[in-house]
């Protein structure tokens, strides 16, 4: 059995959305060995690093991340190689991928080959989101810190959430060949939160 870690390591200097300082994790030591043991704490955004979005992120009154059925994110999945794509992934970009009802799809793009934040990152366009919603997939993950970019009204997120599709952002897929895997990406169960960090791994049985 092979396990691929597809998560971003968490530290103060990690890549964060739009390079905003307020998105950076702040780690602090609260106790050290002379006091008996080392203990620390972290303050970070729920959408920093690899994380799962909850419907509440975009829909007022939507479910929090603690309401997520873990079968949504501990599941078989398929990695699609879309590394030739620039801009928004469209319906046409996904049409020949034989996407099936109930699949969990991970979008591997050229984002996985760039560690710095790129304002022109590849994202899932609205037509691509509608296509996945029509296919009634279970979930979609992307190797960008946002699944959409500069869309007034956040139509990609809203289309996916309204179709019950789980969204994972901040994946790292550089070393993952296209194909089928078992995904484990359970988010922290933070009560009523709009998202939460996850340790995402792929298992190649």
Closest-approach residue to Zn ion (CB): 47
**Shortest distance (Å) from residue 138 CB to Zn ion:** 18
**Shortest distance (Å) from residue 145 CB to Zn ion:** 8
Question: Using CA atoms, how far apart are residues 101 and 106, in angstroms rounded to an integer?
Answer: 15
Of 112 and 166, the one with the shorter C-beta distance to Zn ion is: 166
**Shortest distance (Å) from residue 22 CB to Zn ion:** 15
How many residues appear in the chain? 205
Of 63 and 76, the one with the shorter C-beta distance to Zn ion is: 63
CA distances, 191 to each of 41, 52, 118, 148, 180 (Å):
19, 14, 32, 25, 32
Record the tokens describing residue 106, joined without a space: 């991970």
**Shortest distance (Å) from residue 41 CB to Zn ion:** 22
Of 93 and 195, the one with the shorter C-beta distance to Zn ion is: 195
**What secondary structure letter does DSSP report for 116?**
S
Record the tokens describing residue 55, joined without a space: 């419907």
Of 195 and 197, the one with the shorter C-beta distance to Zn ion is: 195
- Using the CB atoms, write b or e for 14-50: b if 16+ within 10 Å: bbbbeeeeebbbeeeeeeeeeeeeeeeeeebbbbbbb
Of 25 and 203, the one with the shorter C-beta distance to Zn ion is: 25
Report angle CA 81, 83, 84 to the nearest 5 degrees. 115
Which residue in 137, 75, 79 sits closest to 109, CA to CA? 79
Q: Would you tell me which residues interact with Zn ion (CB under 5 A)?
A: 47, 53, 169, 195
**Shortest distance (Å) from residue 45 CB to Zn ion:** 9
Which residue in 142, 143, 140 sits closest to 114, CA to CA? 143
Of 128 and 141, the one with the shorter C-beta distance to Zn ion is: 141
């Amino acid at each position: 059995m092979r396990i691929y870690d597809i998560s971003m390591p968490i530290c103060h200097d990690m890549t964060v959305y739009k390079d905003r300082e307020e998105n950076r994790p702040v780690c602090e030591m609260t106790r050290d060995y002379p006091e008996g043991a080392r203990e620390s704490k972290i303050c970070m955004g729920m959408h920093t690093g690899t994380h799962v979005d909850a419907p509440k992120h975009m829909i007022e009154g939507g479910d929090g991340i603690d309401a997520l059925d873990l079968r949504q994110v501990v599941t078989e999945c398929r990695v699609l190689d879309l590394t030739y794509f620039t801009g928004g992934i469209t319906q046409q970009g996904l049409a020949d991928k034989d996407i099936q009802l109930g699949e969990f799809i991970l979008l591997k793009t050229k984002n996985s080959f760039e560690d710095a934040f790129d304002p022109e990152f590849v994202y899932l366009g609205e037509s691509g989101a509608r296509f996945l919603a029509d296919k009634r997939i279970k979930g979609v993950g992307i190797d960008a810190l946002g699944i959409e970019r500069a869309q007034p009204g956040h139509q990609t997120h809203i289309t996916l959430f309204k179709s019950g599709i789980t969204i994972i952002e901040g994946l790292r897929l550089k070393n993952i060949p296209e194909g089928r895997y078992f995904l484990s990406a359970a988010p922290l169960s933070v009560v009523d939160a709009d998202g939460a960090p996850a340790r995402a791994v792929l298992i190649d049985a």
